[in-house]
Structure 1
Amino acid sequence: MHEPMLALENIRLVYNRGRADEVTALDHLDLALDPGEFVTVVGSNGAGKSSTVQIISGAQRPTKGRVRVKGRDVTAWPDYRRASMVARVFDDPRVGSAPDLSIEDNLALAMSRGRRRTLRFSTNATRRNRMRDELSRLGLGLEDRLHDPMGLLSAGQRQSITMIMAGLATPDVLLLDEHLAALDPATAARVLELTADLVAEMGCTTLMITHNMEHALRLGSRMLVMSRGRVIADVPQARKQHMEAAHVVDLMVGAGDELTDRILIPELQTEGAM
């Protein structure tokens, strides 16, 4: 049997252990993703989606269980040690990049992720040309603004660059943590298209957390539905391509979840307008 690129083994995550406000975020979660697999994840608030990303990225250590990347047990590794293997794009465009540094410096840091470097990573003509080539694909004219501070850019521009940064880091595992949530619909559509293109080009194992059922069904080769810290449905491509958002909602409601994001479900928006 081949080794999965990413494996979560019997993961349990408990916040505030031993206190009155103790919460079990992940409950004996098992998950395996093959090399190059693109998996979308949906679930209501509190289902455990973000906690799963925290565990994989190394930002949070599980209460119990093991995390493996490329067959290596990385459970005790913090996020900075996993940076050469795992890249994460956050829901907030302001996170994941340095606002006071230029676009060029941010891209240079992404290129050097996981390598030994000084405070300022050197940028030569070859690297700069690659940066311009990558930025030009966005169609935003940012290839001519390499020296502009990231903090001056709009949310959509910044999140687009963050996606480019993730690609430049050549990760084995890419985590997209509701990376479209803070964007307006038009910008989200553009970044979603960029996401699909980059994931296909990189060929890395990708886990995309989303509240948008349409995105979850449209992208990726597999969809997970989470509830109360567990995966309640693992939907392969052959079945996913024939599903509608309402079917996913039925799964979540059937698990006893309260839905708070119906506005993001096209079918329900249409029904509400009738």
Structure 2
Amino acid sequence: MDYILSLLASPEAWIALATLIVMEVVLGIDNLIFISILTNKLPEEHRERARKLGIGMALVMRLVLLGTVAFIVQLTEPLFEVFGQGFSWRDLILIAGGLFLVWKATREIHHNVDPDPDAAYSESDKASIGVTAAIAQILVLDLVFSIDSIITAVGMTDHIPIMMAAVIVAVSVMLLAATPLANFIHHNPTIVMLALGFLLLIGTTLIADGFGAHVPKGYIYAAMGFSALIEGLNMLSRRARARRRASQS
């Protein structure tokens, strides 16, 4: 109890908490885009429940992982070398997660642009997937992002309660934002392709990071923000043209 009270009275602890919350929220954008696209493939009556279950179970998983932070840190130790490049468990997890994202995004892009999707997809692959499968995919991807964010957080603070508080706040923000973001993507079809492009970009950077080619996150989010701004201007332009056509008819 004295330990918690000392943290509450420490300005450094509050600064670390605020910094970690911002970091977790920013890193959670990637996950939130994936969750939105994935759950939008479910029947409408199951979408919100799947989002809440997936994000809620991801929160529990993150808190459990924080309880094993000493083990998580050891995942950065090299396991083997290939042509002088060392690979750790963290690297292998990032590569696997990146490949999964690239595969998933490419598959969804193909499904969206295929003029005859019925010929390329079986009945089980069409409009919807199972709730259990959606939650499982959410947890798999969250595991990849969680390990990376925990290793980053350890470099910012040694206090587990601060990390846990930051995760709880960030996941609460994700819960609040998940449904509005998913509905926005669902009602704006062009946003779907942009979001899938984001997932391709994120998957590629995860693979690059796993191979030791670190790409600063700021560049990634700046590119995503610029693309989103351009798409927003395109949406405003399309609406303005639609209003002009309506007023002339």
TM-score relative to the length of structure 2: 0.24
Name the larger-Rg structure: 2
Q: Which has the higher helix share?
A: 2
If each structure's strand is expressed as a fraction of its own residues, which one has the higher value? 1
What TM-score, normalized to structure 1?
Answer: 0.23
